Amino acid sequence: MSTGQPQPPDPLPGARLLFSLDPAVAHLNHGSYGSVPISVQRAQQRLRDETEANPQRFFTRGLVDRISHSRRHLATFLGAAPDSTALIGNATTGTAIVLQSLGLQRGDEIVCTDQGYGAVRLAVERECGRTGAVSRTLPLPLRATDTEIVEIVRAGLRPGRTKLLIVDQITSPTARLLPVTAIAATAREHGVAVLVDAAHAPGMLSMPVDAIGADFWVGNLHKWAYAPRGTAVLVVAPAWGERIEPLVVSWEQESGFPLNAEWQATLDYTSWLAAPVGLHTLRTLGVDRVRTHNAALAAYGQRVVGEALGLSPADLPDPGGPEVAMRIIPLPAGLATTVADATALRLHIADALATEVAVNAWGGRGWLRLSGQVYNRADEYDRLAHRLPALLATLT
């Protein structure tokens, strides 16, 4: 009988067999590196074999067209215009392309939030150091409502000075779905360009990219869309297309965006060409079915682990939307309060409990982040709940 608390969903039959994960380990951190289905691994290996069988033919006979075909397939799935979308290596690469293309000058500013991804913050700091621009961080309370978040952003923009606002669609350290459509509309009112870091969105969320109204949108497909690692997209509003400067100049430079951002000579393009096979796997399982399953399983994991740590439902942050397949749990005070300590705890849990999780330091405390994926089972979260409190007790 349901208690009103999150319950585990029915497993998807045969889903675990689609992956080559070590069965001796509980893989509860799909959000960091994903897991590539066996069918996608094999498709990519066939492409690698094709490359090595005749490199000259592979790179010089129709490869640009094959990349464009794959891009059209992926962009259509995401609800983005193919001609406004470029395939790139990862979301951080897309962020670097955007930052380089802005033409920042001394006195300009970039605004981020304190729930943003660490590598993005480092990219912003580097670009500011090069150009004389400055960066500013907006604190977002963990339990702020969507309305409150939009108002914080509105108050934090400085028209005429703020050149770019960077906001996550789903935050990495806190697994929070942010109201990016409303935020983008607010930024437009102030004449501020918006970059949405949607590293976790492709495959997890159903919202079409074009419906957001952002100037720039970057997303990884290796996490929730079952693509090989090294597959991501940069979506650019038409008004910005001619201003995009790729990080590396290639023979496609004069072709303009998106080809000039995609083509990098002897790059390994097999991950991009195999990515549609990942979408085929997702569609075969049922896109909505997978989304519902994964979100429910993450919610269940948050509940049972939280209860084991003596937390009440009110102590467990809500992700802000029904499709979010990651949840966070506050760790005991004093644990994992720095990046180094969070990394050390993650490794300790992996070694001692044979369980892969994410541990982040944010807001002065440590947070355990759990993901839900079709290869996971409820008993993996139950085992973590049973064993984690004793392990943490040895550290406090």
State the pLDDT at residue 215.
98
Contact 384, 26 (CB under 8 A): yes
Q: In Å, what is the CA distance from 122 to each residue of 93, 128, 135, 204, 220?
A: 12, 10, 11, 26, 19
Q: In order along the chain (396 residues), what is the average pLDDT of each group of 10 residues?
A: 78 96 98 97 98 96 96 98 97 96 96 96 96 97 97 96 98 97 97 98 97 98 97 97 93 93 94 98 97 98 98 96 97 96 98 98 97 98 98 93
Specify the long-range contacts of residues 314-320, CB closer than 8 Å, at least 24 apart: 317/142, 317/143, 317/174, 317/175, 317/176, 318/143, 319/170, 319/175, 319/176, 319/177, 320/146, 320/176, 320/177, 320/178
Sign of the dihedral through C-alpha 68, 73, 77, 82: positive
What was the pLDDT predicted at 1? 37
Could you give all domains of the chain from N- to C-terminal order, each with its CATH number?
15-35+287-393 (3.90.1150.10), 40-280 (3.40.640.10)
